[in-house]
Structure 1
Amino acid sequence: MNDAARSDAERQVADWLEVYGASDAGVANLLCDRHDADAVAFTLVEPDLSSTGLTYGELADESRRMATVLAAKGVRRGDRVPVLLGKRRALVVTLVALWRLGAVHVPLFTAFATGAIALRVEGSGASIVVTDASQRDKVDPIEVVTVLDVDDLVAESADARPLAVDVAVGGDATFVQLYTSGTTGKPKGVPVPVRALASFQAYQHYSLDVTADDVFWNAADPGWAYGLYYAIIAPLVGGRTSLLLNSGFTPDSTVAVLTQFGVTNFAGAPTIYRALRAGADMSGVSLRRASSAGEPLTPDIVDFGREHLGCEVRDHYGQTELGMVIGNHWNADVAMPLRAGSMGQAMPGYVAGIVDGQIAISVADSPALWFTGYDGAPEKTAERFTDDGAWYLTADTGRVDDDGYFSFTARDDDVILAAGYRIGPFDVESVLVTHASVAEVAVVGRPDPEGIRGEVVEAFVVLNADFTGSAELEKELQTLVRDEYSKHAYPRTVHFVEALPKTPSGKVQRFILRREGRAAPTTPA
């Protein structure tokens, strides 16, 4: 991008920061009330492809009534409230209602089992969880928490008086608290302040290039950062219409939605594009913009987009702690030609560089940077910044060329990127080690042999005495992870080994497991 265009974009981000960082900023006003009441906020699509529109005016009214009901249940400013719901109308209404009260939304992924949910509920100090009948059995076992059924809340809201006055929390207040994938320990809480809305809108405007005329669909799940930030929050802050499909992913259903609703601007993980490329009929699909995030994008997907989607697929990079910060931006004001293997250039509002081999963000030169630290974890926070505090360190290694194009080379941590989901080995290991047969376990990701999911989870298990590795035990351990953590994170293969490779200090050498896993014996030698 030329210097003049970059300067204009930087000024626009500064203007957004002034609005969203104000001391009297109110979340519900910024995300709902200031927009045209008749404009559609969400197109809600059911599995049978029937749909309804939720206008900003309806969202304002329903969330005000819901806020009155939640306040009567004890929800107050600053309370962390986990929400475990699918992509349905009640999800959006509940979130805006919480924000009217100054409460903090803690997102929960609907594929989580009780263990993963409890970790986030207890870690956030929550006393109330909002869910529905389809998910309630996962939450009921958690002690010292009140479970509210969202359908009961909706029914009570029908006769409730709308909340008269919202809580204005200010730009530095937390309105969302997500959790990291838990690579080297328990997942860490990431408080998201209201001023982060400037970064989210910058990504939607400059990188995704979502316009008022677009039919926009971000297929990511709002239980994770990319879906929450850019399928729900960013469209709301920009007054755009976002499509939410209340069902899981299949290639056929994705094509059906793209064609029936005339989607023009689509965002999703590379695994979605790979699955579509594997044989879906794309003849009715015509996109203006296609974007990818969550794992590195291979050149074949870029070419697939040009041939079958109507446009190339552009790669973008970010983290839970940052939102998106580097990308092959779509907006004509800042767009640059693609370079093979590159994830693009820094987004307006950010200055990126390479520090000690890691992709890094300059703190002083990045006004849109909003992450200041993990919740209650100062030592882990310190690991994310250089000693002088000048740079945020992503822990992802990379390089940058003379024109500012960044390329990802490797993850410095061990997060597994499977089917667009970030899976922390610690979470899976913590479940597996509870089995009576398991003495030690290490979990790694390996390339998916089918070329669809990006990576698959593999576990290396050292057995206790009197146990023998077998196909039956492998299935038992896989089922344990499915039931106690999440269906998307179970190990596709379990290797039973004599010992785990370790450094002299006792740390597991996962790179050896990743390299040798395919040849590892399935039973101890």
Structure 2
Amino acid sequence: MPRSPEFYFVLLGAIKLGAKVGPLFEAFMEGAIRDRLKDSQARVLVTTSELLRRVPIKELPYLKHVIVVGDIKEEGPFIDFYKRMETASKDLEIQWMAREDGLILHYTSDSTGKPKGVLHVHNAMIQHVQTAKCVLDLRDDDVYWCTAGPGWVTGTSYGVFAPWLVGATNVIRGGRFSPEDWYQTIENYGVTVWYSAPTAFRMLIGAGAGLMKKFNLNTLRHILSVGEPLNPEVIFWGKRTFDLYIHDTWWMTETGAQVISNYPSMEIKPGSMGKPIPGIEAAIVDDNGEGLPPYHMGNLAIKKGWPSMMRAIWNNQEKYESYFIPNDWYASGDSAYMDEDGYFWFQGRVDDVIMTAGERVGPFEVESKLVEFPAVAEAGVIGVPDPVRGEIIKAFITLRQGYTASEQLKKEIQLFVKQGLAAHAAPREIEFLNNLPKTRSGKIMRRVLKAWELKLPTGDLSTLED
């Protein structure tokens, strides 16, 4: 379903009836839809007449009812949404649920590329409320805009549940990204709190300061980021442009809500994920679940039992149990370190960390340095096998408008990283691309870059932006 009033009516209505809901992204094609509906064994689907053609109904034996928003003849499994709404009762007997009853099923891809269903329960809303207050800083009189679509966990946890649980006004806008439209939305509705993604902020940077000056954005008082690590350069841009720091937040589909964040009340260390929210215990641990001292890279882990923790991987108990390591830690799959002040610093996915000539290098650290170079718009970094060094660093780069790819530019970029970071962290290979493969939530898909480089299968690409 697209972001339409009908989507939100159905989502909240189904939850009130006690159903588990599973939002699907409107750009999914037939294969992605089939995989998710088949694995979830969904019995009811709500979609539009335009999107219905992508649903392989004959291949979905569990699907009994298809409610269509738009023109449809009621026969077989098909139900006309508007026709039924005309005669629907105005009264509803709500199904009261226990805190551990299933609420929402979100599908996400792991490093293998195979999508898996992550189940959250009603208890998660405790954390949605608390983080809406202490991280988003939402108040009754706020006008809040989360730019994520509801097909992703951010678009439900913080695009539906959190703002409405605390009584904020929630702006919902569909369509594709456009700098003019986004700035106009902030001006038109007087947005005060804005939650978006680093990719969007970088695209706004690329649109130039001249465009922004055409709009009145003075209502903004708090800006946050989610979806991928926030480069320091974007934080500095936010301060220069809006006189506001952009606050990074770290969490994932499996955590269900924000876990480590930069709060309005704390000092910002640009590039840091921040600190755990109150009540959350986080640490950097080794593979045996033992804590590591400050500045040692290891597994970013969360102590089991927070309110919004996933309760199952749908139809895959073995996969669910694999997330937990000794001493009751949830291993996030992210590599990070903690400094002496308790701030966490993301370094990459554990399976993305590069071992080059005996040194461990986090790809995000290199990517952050690369995007500080004036010509670089975006960068994705991977490790490539090398007979001498084990791995070498390769960077895939998109350039800002007005710059042209050349061997000389490669040398300048390599020298910039070498002088600003370390010699061993400088990419030995650079490839210029027109676009980087990203998920629709803005994460650079390093596994796809690596698959392309090594000529391996890319796995599931249903979350690919384009």
TM-score of the superposition, structure 2-length normalised? 0.71
Deviates most, 189-198 or 378-387:
378-387
Match of 1:394 in 2: 332
**2:207 equivalent among 270, 276, 279:** 279
Cα distance in structure 2, aligned partners of 1:316 and 1:165: 37
**Inter-CA distance 282–261: structure 2 relative to 1 (3 Å threshold):** same
> Structure 1 residue 209: deviation in Å?
0.8
Offset of 1:134 from its aligned partner?
Answer: 2.4
- Counterpart in 1 of 2:273? 343
Runs of 4+ in structure 1 displaced over 2 angstroms? 140-147, 366-373, 413-417, 445-448, 450-464, 484-490
Which runs of 5 or more residues in structure 2 are unaligned? 71-79, 287-297, 354-362, 365-393, 401-434, 437-442
Q: Give how far 1:187 is off.
A: 1.6
* Residue 139 in structure 1 maps to residue 55 in structure 2: yes
Give the deviation of 1:462 after TM superposition: 8.8
CA shift, 1:402, in A, is 2.2
Q: Which one of the candidate residues 143, 146, 152 is aligned to 1:215?
A: 143
Q: Which stretch of structure 1 is more off in the superposition, 335-344 or 179-188?
A: 179-188
The answer to whether the 8 A contact 1:396-1:411 is kept is yes
Alpha-carbon distance change, 209 to 360 in structure 1, aligned in 2, over 3 angstroms: same
Equivalent of residue 313 in structure 1, options 246, 253, 274: 246
Say if 1:196 and 1:462 are closer, same or farther in 2 by CA, change over 3 A.
closer
CA positional deviation for 1:164: 3.5
* Residue 375 of structure 1: how far off its partner (Å): 1.9
Query: Residues 312 and 381 from structure 1, CA distance in 2 versus in 1: closer, same or farther, beyond 3 angstroms?
Result: same
- Percent sequence identity is 31
1:179-190 mapped onto 2 (5 Å cutoff): 179-184=107-112, 186-190=114-118
1:230-379 map, 5 Å: 230-280=158-208, 281-283=211-213, 284-286=216-218, 287-322=220-255, 323-330=257-264, 335-356=265-286, 357-363=298-304, 367-379=306-318
Q: Distance between the aligned counterparts of 2:235 and 2:148, measured in 1?
A: 19
Specify which of 150, 156, 169 is matched with residue 69 of structure 2.
150
CA distance in 2, matches of 1:148, 1:369: 30
Q: 1:142 to 1:259 in 2, by over 3 A?
A: farther
Q: Let me know the Cα RMSD of the aligned residues.
A: 2.9
Which one is further off, 160-169 or 376-385? 160-169
Question: 1: CA distance between counterparts of 2:455 and 2:260?
Answer: 44
What SS does the corresponding residue of 2:313 show, helix, strand or coil?
coil
Q: Higher RCO, 1 or 2 (CA under 8 Å, sep at least 6)?
A: 1
Q: 1:327 to 1:126 in 2, by over 3 A?
A: same
Deviations 1:64-107 (A, max 9, x none): xxxxxxxxxxxxxxxxxxxxx11110011001110121111111
TM-score normalised to the size of structure 1? 0.63
Match of 1:424 in 2: none
Query: Against the structure 1 CA distance between its residues 220 and 148, is the aligned structure 2 distance closer, same or farther, given a 3 Å change threshold?
Result: same
- How many residues get paired? 357
Give, as a single letter, the amino acid of the residue that structure 2 aligns with 1:402: E
**Amino acid of the structure 1 residue aligned with 2:123:** R
Give the distance between the partners of 1:300 and 1:341, measured in 2 at CA.
9
Partner of 1:128: 44
Question: CA separation in 1, counterparts of 2:455 and 2:187?
Answer: 51
Q: Establish whether residue 110 from structure 1 lines up as the match of residue 102 from structure 2.
A: no
Give the CA deviation at 1:156: 1.5
Alignment-mate amino acid for residue 259 of structure 2: V
Q: Which of these residues, 313, 321, 335, is aligned with residue 382 of structure 1?
A: 321
Q: Is the partner of 2:332 in helix, strand or coil?
A: strand
Question: Deviation of residue 318 (structure 1)?
Answer: 0.3
- SS of 1:86's partner is coil
Task: Tell me what 1:512 maps to.
Answer: none
Paired AA for residue 324 in structure 1 = Q
Q: Is the 8 A contact 2:121 2:311 kept in 1?
A: no
Equivalent AA in structure 2 for residue 89 of structure 1: P
Counterparts of 2:399 and 2:102 in 1: how far apart (Å)? 41
Q: How far apart are the structure 2 equivalents of 1:306 and 1:375?
A: 42
SS in 1 for 2:123: helix
- SS of equivalent to 1:107: coil
1-structure distance, mates of 2:453, 2:138 = 47
